[in-house]
């Protein structure tokens, strides 16, 4: 039971997220279905906090950038290039792989996406990548267990 809670918690933490937590949970021997469900809910819950708490996060980031004297991070620049080329759908779908779901949601909002549009596309993206990571890991793990 504790391991499933750790899957939920790991998926909720930025930079761990579903890309790391789902494969680790499945390789650990946990139920792929429960790992995928809990990882989705964990990741989505904190992404929703970012989306609906955007104004506070943006104010905090602005203050942080002013203090450090930095203008933009490499992740932000990568997100901006994706946004300019593909918009919110592209940013949401590429986010979990390239910059992380939380940053993708934040950048989308920063560049003018609505909270509703961001929520819809981030939900689609997180669901899609949850299925991809879960199914590929389960199939690959099953293949190695049977053949090696």
Q: Is 41 left (phi over 0), alpha (psi -120 to 50) or beta?
A: alpha
For 104-133, write each residue's pLDDT tens digit.
998 899 888 899 999 999 999 999 999 999
% of the chain with per-residue pLDDT over 90: 53
Q: Are 131 and 147 in contact (CB under 8 A)?
A: no
- Rounded to whole angstroms, the Cα distance separating 44 from 22 reads 14
For Cα atoms 48, 33, 144, give the angle at the middle one, nearest 5 degrees.
125
What integer best gives the mean pLDDT of the chain?
88
For 65-98, write each residue's pLDDT tens digit.
777 776 667 777 777 777 778 889 998 998 888 8
Average pLDDT over residues 137-145: 78
Q: Domain of 63?
A: 2-147
pTM, rounded to two decimals: 0.80
Domain count, the chain: 1
Per DSSP, 16 falls in state T
Q: Per-residue pLDDT for 22 more than 90?
A: yes
């Amino acid at each position: 039971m504790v391991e499933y809670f750790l899957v939920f918690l790991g998926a909720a933490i930025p930079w761990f997220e579903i890309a790391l937590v789902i494969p680790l949970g499945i390789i650990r021997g946990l139920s792929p279905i429960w790992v995928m469900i809990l990882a989705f809910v964990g990741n989505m819950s904190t992404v929703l906090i970012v989306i609906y708490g955007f104004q506070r996060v943006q104010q905090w980031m602005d203050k942080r950038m002013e203090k450090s004297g930095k203008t933009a991070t490499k992740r932000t620049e990568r997100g901006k290039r994706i946004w300019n080329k593909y918009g919110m759908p592209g940013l949401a779908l590429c986010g979990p792989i390239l910059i992380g779901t939380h940053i993708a949601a934040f950048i989308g909002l920063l560049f003018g996406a609505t909270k509703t549009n961001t929520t819809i596309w981030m939900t689609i993206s997180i669901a899609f990548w949850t299925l991809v990571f879960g199914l590929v890991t389960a199939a690959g793990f099953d293949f190695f267990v049977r053949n090696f």
